[in-house]
Every structure is written in C-alpha cells, then in structure tokens.
Amino acid sequence: MTGDKAKRRRSGGHRGNRRGAGAAIDQPPWRIPVNTDRPIEPLDEDGIAAIHGAAMHILEEIGIEFLNADARAVMKRAGCTITGTNVRMGRDFVMEMVARAPSQFTITPRNPAREVTVGGKHLLFVNVSSPPNYWDLEVGKVPGTRTQCMDLLKLTQFFNCIHLSAGYPVEPVDVHPSIRHLDVVHDKLLITDKVVHAYSLGAERVEDVIEMVRIAGGLSHDEFEAKPHIYTNINSTSPLKHDDLMLDGFMRMVKRGQAVMVSPFTLAGAMAPVTMAGAVAQSIAEGLCVIAMAQFMRPGAPCIFGTFTSNVDMRSGAPAFGTPEYMRATQMTGQMMRFYGLPMRASGVCTANVPDAQAAWETCASLWSAVQSRTNVVVHAAGWLEGGLIASPEKFVMDCEVLQQIQRYFEPEITATDTGALALDAIAEVGSSGHFFGAEHTQARYQDAFYSPFLSDWSNYEAWDLKGAEWTVERAHRIYKDIVNSFEPPPMAPAIREELAAFVARRKAEGGAPTDF
Amino acid sequence: MTGDKAKRRRSGGHRGNRRGAGAAIDQPPWRIPVNTDRPIEPLDEDGIAAIHGAAMHILEEIGIEFLNADARAVMKRAGCTITGTNVRMGRDFVMEMVARAPSQFTITPRNPAREVTVGGKHLLFVNVSSPPNYWDLEVGKVPGTRTQCMDLLKLTQFFNCIHLSAGYPVEPVDVHPSIRHLDVVHDKLLITDKVVHAYSLGAERVEDVIEMVRIAGGLSHDEFEAKPHIYTNINSTSPLKHDDLMLDGFMRMVKRGQAVMVSPFTLAGAMAPVTMAGAVAQSIAEGLCVIAMAQFMRPGAPCIFGTFTSNVDMRSGAPAFGTPEYMRATQMTGQMMRFYGLPMRASGVCTANVPDAQAAWETCASLWSAVQSRTNVVVHAAGWLEGGLIASPEKFVMDCEVLQQIQRYFEPEITATDTGALALDAIAEVGSSGHFFGAEHTQARYQDAFYSPFLSDWSNYEAWDLKGAEWTVERAHRIYKDIVNSFEPPPMAPAIREELAAFVARRKAEGGAPTDF
C-alpha cells in the first residue's frame, strides 16, 4: 500500500468519507441477520394441502427418473417401486423420511468464526455462482477468466453481508476443466475463509474438493465428517429427472455427513406447468425425493430445499427472473417448507443484461420475496446478471448495498419503543420551533441511528454533479476496483498452505478429473 | 397520426412488439389492486400501546401550535385547552373524534368510471407531485415548466396503474403564482379524467380549484358537496405546528364534504426525534389533532393519515428516502392506523438524483413498505427523484413498470391451487423428457399466464446489444416520448369545456390569487 493510499484509508474511518475516490469503505460487523418478519403467506390451509397432495401424487403415481444406479439401489432398499430408471414412492415413506431432516444445522468453514447456522429464522447471503460470462464497465461481456474469478472472490470475502462463498463466482473458462476445480477451490480457500461448496460433477471433483476443505480446516477425516464443513447443490433435470453425476455427488456428500441442497429448476411454461401451483408442486416432488433418499441413507442428514421456480418470457421462451410470479412462487414454497420443516434456499436474481434500474428492481423483487418467504439461504445474492449468464463486479457491489440494508432492516433497535426511543423528553425540549439535531437525545444516538450507505449517493444534485455526476454503476466500478486493489487475504497457517498446495500439485500431476462428461 | 405511425401502432397489439422504436405500449385494464397480503407488523401490542401513549401525551401535555385563528376557535368550541396558539386536547376527545372517521370512502372525479375507493385493502397509486425541478435525458436538471407539467400529466393519464392525478407533477415556474393554479388545474382537467387535488395555499386557490372540479364534473353545488370529488393534502410544519394557510384549506375542504389528507413531514434527526418510535409518535400527534378537528366540524369527514416519516443522512442533515428506517417507520405507522381505523397514505420515494439503480432500489424499498404496511394511497408513486426536488418522465415510466408488477402480484390467479392450476394431467402428459410449451395446458393459458413487461428488456445480451444496447433509462426516455407524442386526451363535453375556459379567463382577468404568502 502506498503512503498516499494508506493515508486515504486512515481518513476513511467509520464516520469518514466512504465515497471519495480511492477511499476504503467500511464494513458493518460480521453477523447473521435474524428474519423476525412474519412471512407473507398467499396459500391458505387448503392451498398447502392441495400442493402437498399434488407433489405426493407425482411421487406416487408418475415417479421421478433417477439416472444413477447407486441411487436407484438405495431407493429399492428403501422399498420404492423401481421401473427401469423410474422411481415411485409412497407419501408415508416420503413424510417419514422428511421428518428425519433437521430444521436447523451449522456449516463450519476453515475459519470457525465464519460458521453459519442454516434454518430457523437465519438469513444467509451467498455470492453469485457459475455464470460462464463476466461483465464490467471496462471490458463489457466476455467469457470468464481465473483473474476475474479471483476478483469476485475478493469481493465475496470483503463484504461481511456475504456469509458463504459458494460456487465459482464466474466460470474461469481459461482453466482446463480437468483441473479447474483444483485451481479455483485453491484460489477460493486462500482468498476467503467462508463456507465453500463443491460442484457435483463427478466423483473426482467432489472428493478433491472435500479433501481440500478438510486440509484447509486442519481437520482429521473423523473431525471433518463429524459435522458439516461444506455443501453441494444439485439441480434436478426438470421435468422429473435427476442426473447421474449430480446424484453421485449428492450421495457422496450425504455419506460424509456434509450438507446437501437440491434446487429443482422448474421454469413455469417450459420445464414445469405454466401455472405456479403446478410448477411449485413439481419442484417439491423433485426435491423431496432426494431429500428422502438422503434421510434413508443417513437419518438427520443436513438438507436444504432450494426453490428455483420462475416463469419464462412467453414471447421468447427464455427464463425471466424477479417477476411477480417468481415472488409468489417463492412465498408459496416458503409455506410448503415450513409445512415440511425444511430449511429453504432462494436466490437474488434478475433478467437484466446490465446493472441498471431494471436489474435493481428485479433483484429487489427476488431479495424481498426471499425475506417474505423466510428463506434461509439466498444464493446469487450479489453479482448476478442476464438470468445467470453474467457475473458482474459492479452488480456485486450494488447488491451488497441492498443486502446491508436488509441486514439493517432486521436490527431490532429500529422498531424499539422503550422510553428512550419514544423520546418524549426530547419532543418537549425541542418544542414547536426548535430542531432536533442539537438535542442531547440526538447527539447521544446519531452516529448509529441510521443506515449509512457506502455506494448510494445521498448528496443533492448539485453536489453530486460537482463530484463528477457518477451514476450508480460508475461508483460501483470504482469501489470494486478499490476493494480488489487493497485486498488482503485472511490468514492461513503456513503448514496448511503448504499441504494444500502440495495436494493441488499432486492432483494436477495425476491429470485432475476426467472431462468426458 | 401519420400512416406510418398508425401502422406501427396497429402492429403493437397485446402480443405484438411493445418495445420497438415508436411502437405504442399496451396498458393492462384500469383496476384497483386489493392488497391481500397480511401486513408486516414490527410492533407487538405493547409497542402499539407505547406509541399511542406517547402521541396522546404530546397532545395532552405538550400541545400543537395551530397558526390559524378559525381553527383555534373550532378547537376551543370542542373543549380543547388553548394557550396563545398552542392547542392541547385530551385523549378521550381525540379517540372519540377519530372513531367518527370512516375507514373507507370514495372520491369521484369528472369521469365516474375513475372513482376510487380509499381505505380497506385498496391500494391506489398517485403520480409525483410538487417537485420544483424537472430532469430528463435531454435537458438534465432544469426548473419546471408548464409544457413539462403537461407532459407528465399525459403520462399520469396514460398509465392505468396511476389511479389519481394529484398535485402538479412538476411545479411550472414559468407560470405566475397568482394564476398557476388556474392554468395547471385547467390543463389537468383537460388532460386527465382522474381524481385531482387542490393545494391548500390560501382561500382563493382552494375555492377556485373546487369550483373548477365542480364544473368539470358537470355537478351542481349540492351534488358536489354530497360526496368527495377532490382532496387536499396538508403537511404539518414539524415539529408540532400547523400553519395558517394549510389549516384554512383543510377546513374549507372539510366544510364542503371533500377528502382531506394530513402528512406530517417528520424527518427523524431533524424535525422529529432521531429514534423512529419517537418520530412516528410525533407524526401521529401532528396528524390526529387535525383529523379530530375535522371530525368535530363534520362527523364522518373523509380523512387520510399520511406517513412521511424518514431519516436524515447524519453526515449532511439532508433527508434520505427509501431507507431501512423509512420502511420500518411506514410499517409501524400502518399498524397504528389500523389501530385508529384510518386510511393511510405513504409514498414512492428515493434519494437518488438520477433514474439509475440506486433510484430503483430506494423506490422499491418505499413501494414494498407501502404494500407491507397496507397503505391505501401511495403518493409520488411514479416520477420522483432527488428527495422530491426533481420530477422525471423516465423515472415515471420506470416506476410504472414496477407498479404494474405490484398490481400483477396481487392477482389471485397466480397463487390459485385449483385442479387446473395444479396441472397434474399436464405433468403426467409431459413426463420426464418432454417440454411444457407444447402441452395443451400451456397453450390454453400462456397468453395471460405471466406479467408481460413494456419497459424491462428480457431478451438475451446479444439480442439486446443488437437492438442498440439501451439501458433502462434510455428505453424509458423513448417510451415517454412515444406516449406524449401520441397522446389523446379523454373526452369532455363542449359545454363543460367552455364553462371551464370561461371560469379560468374570468378569474385570470380578476388577477387570480394573492401572492403575498
């Protein structure tokens, strides 16, 4: 850090200028928001029963294709009806298995201080994962690279409102697929100390990533398997199908006592019915069947149901996100997950191609519907564009401003009604012709009374104009550069660092993972 | 309309291209959304009692300044304690008066088909009102003009998601203040057929506008006064003060049986306590005292309580809108208004200076908090920027896209769970390897299954890039121009048109209203 930069950083303290060029921005402390709002519940009791009944009908009468032979063997042992690759199961079995799933559990990354609790009223935010492309103001839309991936990992680590570092924030297509998991998870474990996840893309990848996370945590195999330290997410191949590699990775994680998430991508009008109740029922059937398998394999296995029900644009057939139908589907799924007692995942998503106003209102719609549905884990909460085809650092920074405001929204002091909060003495003191700024009541509280933004510009038009008239995306670009350029990685013990590097070197020498998928 | 334009308009039907250059956009039908969501309620019973107690304490012990002598005389007759300009009143009196207020009533504009119901679960959206400045992509920020005001009135009329045409959407500073109300309300009554409002800025203005609305409605004086046809909004001069002209206008409206809205501008940390409970309690005291006066003057007078509680930016002292604290204050006020049985007004507001992503997320926060608080009337729902100092046509168009999505969000078919919605036959038909687009279930429903945007671009990046890579604000600019250029005013009977013009001409010849305020 140059002296000039250091000076500016020192001047950028908690009450300093957080927005000047080159100034560092402050971070609210690491904490997990607790969603105290009563959920929005569009379904009545009959509606819940109807969707449950439809999901059970699908599992009993229509069945789900399990394209993995080991999974079918497990389901056969469980007493399900196997016909070729089709698996059908009774509602009693499903409900008995689902009842075994914990409603709340922890996942502990290499830094135990970053442990997260999944379930209950906890609200966790996860960075964008898996877009093949990258967009920023300088380069436009380009295929993702390892450098861009590392930059986005730095943002993931920097922002305390991002609680998990999930998949690759952008797919680095400049790294060969056989070793991509080794390089990127290595990067990730060095750059972040938050919970990571493994893609279920074949045995070698899952096992390599599990091993790297175990090494990074300094854990024995027994210690690692004693509780969740990592998770995977699988998507069904809607309609009504689970593919081979996904099921393989899912089962490996279950056997090792790690967390599993299943997120059916039920796009209403394409891979699911055009009606939201049908799309939600189908997603529940697709999700519950593998959660039931997990509970049969290992009672109490930590499972998360992921909703990814949205609708297509009926003019083009392309997916649309952050729509009114998406919001309602998320709320409906929230009701169903409380009915089943399962933690829930949703997403921070939009259809917009660039981080403009449309991106903001679509992302807000998805984030607020996550809040309204009492979602526990919000994946893609920062950085997603173009229906998941683009990861953007400016969008990442913008989303973090919104996420921080959601965190602030849940701080109970805002709605406190104790004597101090009612402020009757201050009201009497100021009377009808004074101003509260000078009141002792204000002076004692003003530093932390309100959310203080790092990206939003609250100056008036003329002051904003004088500073350069930067629109949100331009300010976000500058902030993203500042964060990346001044980034300092979290500590890692040298011995662990060496062991990790040696593992990666050995596995690369062995050729990494097969790429014939 | 040129032939070319007409052709393009014809091709822009309900399923046509709504986004091509020059294409007209379709409008969903005129309808009033019904907010079926259970409100978000951060206060428990004790919290409600605490804020109510604080508001009553303010009214009983501290009092409110009434700077209008007639108003003080009314309050004296009502048994209140008058000390100079200070008015104190007992909680029993306040609660007895407030209990007289209707929880629901109608306002009927010149076109009875545009009648609106205020209260209950009805959700009404109103255009931006009163900014002194205008901003668009071409001219930047400039003082408002009559032409810009007319353009914004055309947008107000065009969009069916805007239910009332309230104040001047921008203040036309090129029209002399003595006749501004005559010219602008004349423009408004010709351009729109929705509910209008009168500024409480002196007897002449209020009486002129009432007379113009009566003429435009083709009503006798008795017919006019038989039910609400117009409303006024007054703001307290916080802290704890109501000014002379505002009270005068408010009382004139009450006497004529018209609707009144009182919106204390309680900015926490400036004109109200830095704590939200204190700011809300103060706003309730400031609002209820004049609602009590209205009910004493005319039992059953149609009243609306307006929340305008937000917080300052503690770095600058300037107001901030769409903040987490704003959201919670709006929700808390919603709980209090259900406690008092009063219809509620809130706003669609932001701090941002230009219609970018910040503007969108701040506006979404305010709009969703209006929904969450079961607000009945959302003022400034479209077109507001810079904390109310700027009206923008692009922002207006952008906000209408969000408002239409909120309307769609409340359509009950989205969450229906009847047999058709559960779609089990379609799920069985499509099976595990098909696609729902070709299913009969989809084909029968796809045209109206999902919200169809007019401004959001849902094409992929490459298609969007080929079309010109327009960001939201650029598309909004084009749409605003299209609407204004192809605008056709609603019909008005020639005799009424002449009577209105003659009234305006006479009053202008008389010099309009005094401008010594």
Best of B353, B386, B464 to mutate (most A CBs within 10 Å, chain A) = B353
Give the rounded distance of the alpha carbon of A251 from its chain centre. Answer: 22
Residue B1 lies in a domain: no
Whether residue A21 has pLDDT greater than 60: no
Note whether A278 contacts B327, CB cutoff 8 Å: no
* SS3 per residue for B296-359: HHCCCCCEEEECCCEEECCCCCCEECCCHHHHHHHHHHHHHHHHHCCCEEEECCCCCCCCCHHH
Does A409 sit within 8 Å of B324, measured CB to CB? yes
pTM: 0.95
Look up the ipTM and state it.
0.95
pLDDT(B18) > 70: no
Say yes or no: A354 and A426 in one domain. no
User: What pLDDT was estimated at residue A516?
Assistant: 66
Unique residue bearing structure tokens 């993931």: A156
Residues of A in contact with B427 (CB under 8 A): 58, 62, 239-240, 273, 278, 281-282
Are B400 and B308 in a shared domain? yes
Nearest CA in chain A to B409: A324
First and final CA of chain A: distance in angstroms?
Answer: 45
Question: How far A95 CA sits from the closest chain B CA (Å)?
Answer: 20
Query: pLDDT tens, B88-132?
Result: 999 999 999 999 999 999 999 999 999 999 999 999 999 999 999
Task: Encode burial over A42-67: b for 16+ CB neighbours within 10 A, e otherwise.
Answer: bbeeebbebbbebbbbbbbebbbbbb
Residue A503 lies in a domain: no
Q: Could you tell me if B173 and B145 are in contact, meaning their C-beta atoms sit under 8 angstroms apart?
A: yes
| Residue located via tokens 């069985």 | B428
Based on the structure, what is the number of domains in chain A? 2
Cβ atoms of B319 and B360 within 8 Å: the answer is: no
Residue B517 in this model has a pLDDT that exceeds 60: no
Contact present, B319 and B124 (Cβ < 8 Å): no
Q: Residues A310, A419: one domain?
A: no
Instruction: Identify which of A324, A361, A441 has the shortest CB distance to residue B364.
Output: A361
Residue of A nearest to B67 (CA): A432
Residue type, A90: G
Strand partners, B286: none
In the block, residue with structure tokens 């904003």: A464
Judgement on whether residues A377 and A440 belong to the same structural domain of the protein: no
Work out how many CB contacts closer than 8 A connect A with B.
Answer: 383
CB contact under 8 A, A324 and B456: no
- Which pLDDT tens digit goes with each residue over A103-150? 999 999 999 999 999 999 999 999 999 999 999 999 999 999 999 999
Record: contact B273-A43, CB cut-off 8 A: no
pLDDT of residue B290: 98
Do residues B341 and B436 both lie within one domain?
A: no
DSSP designation for A374: T
Contact A277 B316 (CB under 8 A): no
**Mean pLDDT of the B237-251 span:** 97
Give A-chain residues touching B465 at CB under 8 angstroms. Answer: 353
Test the B interface: residue of A458, A470, A479 with most B CBs within 10 Å: A458
Tokens of A307: 């909703």
- If asked whether residues B284 and B265 sit together in one domain, one would say yes
Based on the domain organization, do A220 and A356 belong to the same domain? yes
The answer to whether position A490 is within a domain reads no
Give the tokens for residue A119. 């379930």
Helix axes B203-216, B494-509, angle to 10 degrees: 160
Q: Mean pLDDT over residues A314-329, rounded?
A: 94
Residues counted in chain A: 517
Residue B114 shares a structural domain with residue B241: yes
**Do A297 and A436 belong together in one domain?**
no
Which of the four pLDDT bands, split at 50, 70 and 90, describes residue B5? very low
Range of the domain at A376: 97-409
- Any idea which residue has 């307006």 for tokens? B306
Min distance B103 CA to chain A CA atoms (Å): 24
Are both B398 and B423 inside the same structural domain?
no
B18 domain residue, yes or no: no
Query: Residue B14: what pLDDT?
Result: 33
Bridge partners, A34 (sequence order): A122
Question: In whole numbers, what is the pLDDT of chain B averaged over residues?
Answer: 94
- Whether residue A7 has pLDDT greater than 80: no
Pair A268, A306 in one domain: yes
d(C-alpha A50, C-alpha B512), whole Å: 65
Amino acid at A122: H
Yes or no, beta carbons of B423 and A240 under 8 Å apart? no
Answer whether the bond into residue B264 is a cis peptide, omega within 30°: no
Phi/psi zone of residue A374: left (φ > 0), alpha (ψ -120 to 50 degrees), beta? left
B448 vs A415: CA distance, rounded Å? 41
Q: Is B344 within the bounds of a domain?
A: yes
Tell me the per-residue pLDDT of A171-205, one tens digit each, with 9 for 90 and over: 999 999 999 999 999 999 999 999 999 999 999 99
In a domain, A211, yes or no: yes
User: Does residue B36 carry a pLDDT above 90?
Assistant: yes
CA distances from A160 to A78, B7, B324, B358 (A): 43, 55, 18, 20
Q: How far apart are CA A132 and CA B192, in angstroms?
A: 49
Chain B partners within 8 Å of A451 (Cβ): 323-325
Nearest Cα residue in chain B from A266? B436
**Whether B438 and B376 share a structural domain:** no
Mean predicted confidence (pLDDT) in A231-235: 97
Mean pLDDT across B163-179:
96
Q: Calculate how close chain A gets to B318, using CA atoms only, in Å.
A: 8
Residue B166's pLDDT band (cuts 50, 70, 90): confident
Beta strand A303-306 pairing with A319-320: unpaired
Q: Identify the CATH number of the domain in which residue A139 sits.
A: 3.20.20.480
Q: Does B81 fall in a domain?
A: no
- A97's enclosing H/E stretch is helix A91-98
- Asked whether B239 and A436 are in contact (CB, 8 A), the reply is yes
pLDDT of residue A177: 94
Which residues from chain B sit within 8 angstroms of residue A411, using beta carbons?
324
Q: Do A320 and B450 touch (CB under 8 A)?
A: yes
For residue A133, give the chain B residue with the closest CA. B461
Distance CA A25, CA A12 (A): 7
In a domain? residue B222: yes
Tokens (6 digits) for A294: 């997990």
